[in-house]
Amino acid sequence: MMQDWEPHRATSGALRETDGRRLIVLGITHPQTCLILPARLRAFKAAGFRVVLICSPGTLLDRIARQECVETVSVPMQRGVSPFADAVSLVRLCRVLRRLKPMITEFSTPKAGLLGNLAAKLCGVPVRVYLLRGLRLETLTGFRFRLLLAAERLASACAQHVVCNSRSLRLTAAALRVAPARKLHLLGNGSSQGVDIYRFSPGADRVRKGLGIAREAPLIGFVGRFTRDKGIPELMDAFERILATVPSARLLLVGWFDDSDDAVSEALRRRIESHPAVICTGCVADTAPYYRAMDVMVLPTWREGFPNVVLEAAATGIPVVTTISTGSRDAVLPEVTGLLIPAGYPEAIAEAVIRLIRNPEDRFRMGAAARSWVIEQFVNGRVLSLTIDFYRTLLEASARKDVAVLATDAAAVGD
């Protein structure tokens, strides 16, 4: 039976010998993921860890290295299936880990999760964690589904612990037998970083004027990658339905057209970019002001781990319409902080959004409840402290095991 992990403070002396600057290696596939890492990196540093981040090269990796003053190592990794390139990446990862000799590794995202955990296993890293941020395979079928499922199972087999980003993700991982139930952990109520409730907070709208959006126009927002799995095709179809009922509505898309294998079609991209009622910002460094401009945030996703954007919108006091898909359904209290709808139905998106636009009392009530819920459950300090406590517990257990092995070996020599 799967159990939620509860923190406890280390009390034995086994870990003290290895305290100091303990080395943790974090590994991700693509520099885009660096956008959600700053709080996590700071938390590990504040807890006394020496932090090294492994990632494919890119400007975002360079930026986070400067911004957070962490060591980084560039190891090119392909997001798609590429046997030769993957073999080269695995060799490079092994070389890096043998040189660094970390006490603990945390690899996440599909390719880094597979290659990084395999390399950590081969190099004998004492504590190996796979941070499961989501399951790409959920929207696949046939051979590609089976291939990615095998990859997830191998990544989990090489790790000693699989930390799931949400309760529903853990249930899905267990149902797919990604790992034995005993290896699947949920820390608190999920989320890999929580949310900064001071940065993401209610406040005056300062972006509508600059974007040419009328103050009285109902503004529907989306934040994230523009991909099929995020539900962008359904959102655009839903927006046409919304315009038929609320002609003054506007759609604010904060993010970028991602070049992943679930990228939107060129035809849809042209439709978005040419639509007179759709505003695209591109990738922005600080999304907080854009939430304050929104009346409703919509995430019509097909799969998630635990969507950070929902927590950010909720902390800003904005109700969210999202789907009952894995991960996203954990981020909303239905009819309390927002609305849950089935994935893949533009009419359901339109109905939910129109309801909130036409009922400002419901909108304000849900927004206030959303911020209160985030403050209670998902403040980033609380979420990250659970991670730090859990990792300290793992290191302590590993240290006790090493001491026990040494004692056994010494006894054997004495005999």
CB crowding 245-272: b at 16 or more within 10 Å, else e: ebeebbbbbbbbbbeeebbbeeebeeeb
- Fill in the amino acid letter for 411: A
Sign of the torsion formed by the C-alpha atoms of 66, 69, 73 and 79: negative
Beta-sheet pairing, 250-257 with 278-282: parallel
What pLDDT, in 10s, does the model give residues 153-209? 999 999 999 999 999 999 999 999 999 999 999 999 999 999 999 999 999 999 999
Between CA 241 and CA 235 the distance in angstroms is 10
- By CB atoms closer than 10 A (0-12, 13-18, 19+), residue 218 is buried
Please state the pTM of the whole predicted model.
Answer: 0.89
- The residue to which tokens 């929580």 are assigned: 194
What pLDDT, in 10s, does the model give residues 301-356? 999 999 999 999 999 999 999 999 999 999 999 999 999 999 999 999 999 999 99
Between CA 324 and CA 302 the distance in angstroms is 9
Between CA 342 and CA 150 the distance in angstroms is 28
- Domains in the chain (CATH in brackets) are 16-194+380-414 (3.40.50.2000), 208-377 (3.40.50.2000)
Between CA 35 and CA 42 the distance in angstroms is 13
Nearest Cα residue to 308 out of 200, 152, 233:
200
pLDDT tens, N- to C-terminus, the chain (415 residues): 454 444 433 333 333 334 435 899 999 999 999 989 999 999 999 999 999 999 999 999 999 999 999 999 999 999 888 899 999 999 999 999 999 999 999 999 999 999 999 999 999 999 999 999 999 999 999 999 999 999 999 999 999 999 999 999 999 999 999 999 999 999 999 999 999 999 999 999 999 999 999 999 999 999 999 999 999 999 999 999 999 999 999 999 999 999 888 999 999 999 999 999 999 999 998 999 999 999 999 999 999 999 999 999 999 999 999 999 999 999 999 999 999 999 999 999 999 999 999 999 999 999 999 999 999 999 999 999 999 999 999 999 998 876 555 445 444 445 5
Nearest Cα residue to 206 out of 280, 312, 309, 292:
292
For helices 38-46 and 59-68, the axis angle rounded to 10 degrees is: 40
